[in-house]
Amino acid sequence: MRSAVVRHFAAAYAGLRRGGRLVLVALPASGTLEIPVLDTVLNGTSVIGSIVGTRAGLATVFALHRAGRTRVVADTRPLAAVNEAIGEILAGQARARIVLQP
C-alpha cells in the first residue's frame, strides 16, 4: 500500500483475508500504525515493509512517461467482469494490468 493517511492503512488491513499480507511501501504521516494483534495472530495475516523505490525514483518514472519513453499496458474491463479478471490474475494469465470500470 502507498499512502500517508492512517485511515487508508486501517482500511487496507481490514480488507485482508485469512493469511493475507499487507505490504507497506509508504509510511503513515504519524510514524506509527495500530494493528490489532489478536486478529493478526488468529487470522495469520502479516504486515511487511518494502523499501523498493523512492519518491525521487517515482518522479523520474513520471518524467520518463511524460516524455513518451514509457507506456501503460492495461486491459480495461467492466466492473461486472471482476471475478473473471481475478481468475486470470490468479492463474497467471493476465497479459496486462486489469483496470475495472463501473
pLDDT (0 to 100) of residue 3: 56
Which set of grid coordinates corresponds to residue 52?
523498493
Q: For the whole model, what pTM was predicted?
A: 0.47
Q: What is the mean pLDDT of each run of 10 residues along the chain (102 residues)?
A: 69 92 79 88 90 77 90 91 93 89 92
**CA dist 14 → 21, 28, 40, 58, 88 (Å):** 11, 16, 10, 27, 25
For residues 1 and 23, is the Cβ–Cβ distance under 8 A? yes
Residue entry with cell 523520474: 60
